[in-house]
Every structure is written in structure tokens, then in C-alpha cells.
């Protein structure tokens, strides 16, 4: 099968289109003919091996998993002997840990959900990692309730574009944070108000928010707790950082600052979850949440797709057509 592989860490130039063997199924796995995928910040991190902390988990000198990509949308091509929920031909979506910039990928049945009827394959391929991260950050960690005021930092990106819509669906008043050229896009997502981070500090909004969901990390994290209400929750899901620890040091500073103010600061560690995907399916089919596809690239042009992703000019998601 054809797949985008990498033999070393680095920029988009390390990605190569190659012919590799089709994955061999285990009894509890589903083989998926991948039709669409997308780019997530985590894919960029694993491609570069930056911060170095990720190399301790995914390979010290080169990535153990050679195929990039995690988001998956396609049809079931084969099922393992123990699989009971799917048949060949079923349309599904999920997150793959063995690489999805490929014609086929294998995924344990427990992580696979049926594709929403309302979404195209291209749209469905832009959902799993980003939308589940947004849902878990807001519902599980942030515990957003109707009537609360939620601030989403990084509202125009993959996770952020879902977070704005999901928070509105949970009954919250939403303020998004983004750059000036993306303000209209974030308003179109449903945000009640928008902050341009280049001209206004989140920390200046003292005691205004019940939940702050920090995806992008553009503000000094130690200033964020001052924008929370006395019983507010700060959810940290990424951001910039140093070469060794990445956002971990930054997140630790925010947690410490919140502790001194007797507030809650929590680091989100999103995980694959079929039930969350099925909940999202209901939202998609009800029309309350929609994927926003910025642009689409074919499999053989994935390096160019990463260059676009790294430009910072993306609104929503970059789709990959297999």
C-alpha cells in the first residue's frame, strides 16, 4: 500500500511517499480502507520530535511508528476474528495509533465509531482527534455548565473551532481568542465575543470567566488565573514551550499560579474514546456542530500540507485525501 512515512525526525522534508506492506490484523482489530485524514498539532510534534520529551516515548533517534497521521475516515476492509460490531463495507471514523496517511490502517474495534450520516468522508476525516480533545477539555475536565462564561484561547484552529461550537452547545457564553485576520471566522463559529491577542491581554479581564480552555498558549500562563472567577477552572491543552519539555514547564507555572489563588488548573491529556465519538456523531447529525475544512491536499502532497499548517494561516482543519 502507499503511505507517508518518515525515517528520521525533522521538518516536512523528512516525509516520503512509499510502498509498504498492508497491516496485518489482530483478532480484536478492524482494517480500514482510509479515504480521508487531516493534520493535527500532534502530528507536527511527532514529525519533528520536538520537544525532545516526546522522543522518550515515541523513539529516541527516529520514530518507532513510521507512518504519520492519526485521524481516520473510511470503510471497513476486513475484521479480526473477535470483532462483532462491524462488517466489511461499513463507513467508520476513529483515531489510529499506527498511522493514517496510508491506504489502510488497523485500529482496535473498541476505538472505532460509525461515521456520521451528515458528514462527507472529507469532513469525517477532520474530526476524531481535534473534536474529541475539545469535548473532553470542556465537558470532562472543564465541566462546563449552561450559563457559564467560557474563554477559548486558540479558537480558530482545529481544536478551537470545535471547542467554540461545543461550548455553545453546552449552553455557555463563549469568548474566543485569535489573531485579527481570524476574528470574523471565530464569530461565524458562534463566539459571542472575540479577543485579538495581539492587542489585548486575557489577564486584563479580571474574574470574568468560569472556564478558560487554553489550546494555543499565546498569553503568559501565570496571568490566566486572574481572569478566572474565584471558583473557575483553567484547562491547559497545549501551547508553546522549550526544546526539552515543551509546554510542560509553562503549564506547571499556570497550575502553581492557580493554586495560590485557590482555583483549579488542570492539564488535559486527551485520549481515544469511542463513546465521545458517538456523542459527537449526535451533535453532527443534529446540525449543532460542523467541521470547517480550510483546504485539502492529496496523499502525495502531505509535505506541502504541513508547510501550510505551520504557516499559522489555517482556519479550522487541513484535510488529507488518501
Residues contacting residue 270 through CB under 8 Å, at least 6 positions apart? 129, 132, 133, 136, 137, 237
Contact 317, 294 (CB under 8 A): yes
Mean pLDDT to the nearest integer, 289-293: 98
Q: How many helices (H) and strands (E) does the chain have?
A: 9, 15
Domains of the chain: 2-127+291-321 (3.90.180.10), 130-267 (3.40.50.720)
Helix axes 128-135, 158-169, angle to 10 degrees: 40
Q: How far is CA 60 from CA 49, 51, 111, 164, 244, in A?
A: 9, 12, 28, 36, 13
Q: Cell numbers of 249, please?
A: 514547564
Residue 255 confidence class, pLDDT cut points 50, 70, 90: low
Kindly tell me if the per-residue pLDDT of 218 is higher than 80: no
Output the pLDDT for position 38. Answer: 98
Classify 79 as helix, strand or coil.
strand
Contact 162, 276 (CB under 8 A): no
Strands (E), the chain: 2-6, 15-19, 29-38, 71-79, 91-95, 104-108, 113-114, 149-153, 173-178, 193-196, 209-214, 228-236, 264-267, 293-298, 317-321
Output the pLDDT for position 261. Answer: 54
- Parallel/antiparallel/unpaired status of strands 264-267 and 228-236: parallel
Kindly tell me if the per-residue pLDDT of 52 is higher than 80: no
pLDDT digits (tens, 9 = 90+) for 4-16: 999 999 999 999 9
Contact 94, 112 (CB under 8 A): yes
Kindly tell me if the per-residue pLDDT of 97 is higher than 90: yes
What phi and psi, each to the nearest 5 degrees, are found at residue 150? -115, 130
Contact 15, 297 (CB under 8 A): no
3-state helix, strand, coil in the chain (%, to 5): 35, 30, 40
Output the pLDDT for position 258. Answer: 54
How far is the C-alpha of 301 from the C-alpha of 4, rounded, in Å?
A: 10
Kindly tell me if the per-residue pLDDT of 259 is higher than 80: no
pTM: 0.92
Mean pLDDT to the nearest integer, 28-51: 94
Mean pLDDT to the nearest integer, 61-89: 97
Amino acid at each position: 500500500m502507499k503511505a507517508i512515512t518518515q525515517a528520521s525526525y525533522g521538518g516536512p522534508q523528512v516525509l516520503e511517499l512509499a510502498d509498504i506492506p498492508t497491516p496485518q490484523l489482530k483478532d480484536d482489530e478492524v482494517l480500514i480502507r482510509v479515504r480521508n485524514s487531516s493534520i493535527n498539532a500532534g502530528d507536527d510534534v511527532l514529525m519533528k520530535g520536538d520537544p525532545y520529551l516526546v522522543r522518550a516515548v515515541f523513539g529516541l533517534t527516529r520514530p518507532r511508528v513510521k507512518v504519520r497521521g492519526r485521524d481516520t475516515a473510511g470503510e471497513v476492509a476486513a475484521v479480526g476474528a473477535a470483532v462483532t460490531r462491524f462488517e466489511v463495507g461499513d463507513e467508520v471514523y476513529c483515531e489510529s495509533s499506527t498511522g493514517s496517511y496510508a491506504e489502510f490502517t488497523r485500529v482496535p474495534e473498541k476505538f472505532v465509531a460509525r461515521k456520521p450520516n451528515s458528514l462527507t468522508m472529507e469532513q469525517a476525516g477532520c474530526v476524531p482527534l481535534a473534536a474529541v480533545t475539545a469535548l473532553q477539555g470542556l465537558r470532562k475536565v472543564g465541566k462546563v455548565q449552561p450559563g457559564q462564561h467560557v474563554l477559548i484561547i486558540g479558537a480558530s484552529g482545529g481544536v478551537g473551532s470545535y471547542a467554540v461550537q461545543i461550548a455553545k452547545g453546552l449552553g455557555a457564553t463563549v469568548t474566543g481568542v485569535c489573531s485579527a485576520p481570524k476574528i470574523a471566522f471565530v464569530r461565524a463559529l458562534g463566539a459571542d465575543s472575540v479577543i485579538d491577542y495581539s492587542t489585548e491581554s486575557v489577564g486584563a479581564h479580571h474574574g470574568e470567566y468560569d472556564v478558560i480552555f487554553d489550546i494555543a498558549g499565546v498569553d503568559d500562563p501565570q496571568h490566566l488565573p486572574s481572569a478566572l472567577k474565584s471558583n473557575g477552572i483553567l484547562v491547559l491543552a497545549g501551547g508553546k514551550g522549550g526544546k526539552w519539555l515543551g509546554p510542560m514547564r509553562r503549564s506547571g507555572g499556570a497550575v502553581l499560579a492557580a493554586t495560590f489563588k485557590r482555583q483549579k488548573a488542570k492539564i488535559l491529556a486527551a485520549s481515544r474514546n469511542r463513546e465521545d465519538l458517538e456523542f459527537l456523531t449526535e451533535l453532527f447529525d443534529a446540525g449543532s456542530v460542523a467541521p470547517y475544512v480550510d483546504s485539502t491536499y492529496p496523499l502525495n502532497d502531505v509535505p506541502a500540507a504541513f508547510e501550510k499548517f505551520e504557516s499559522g494561516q489555517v482556519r479550522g482543519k487541513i484535510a488529507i485525501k488518501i
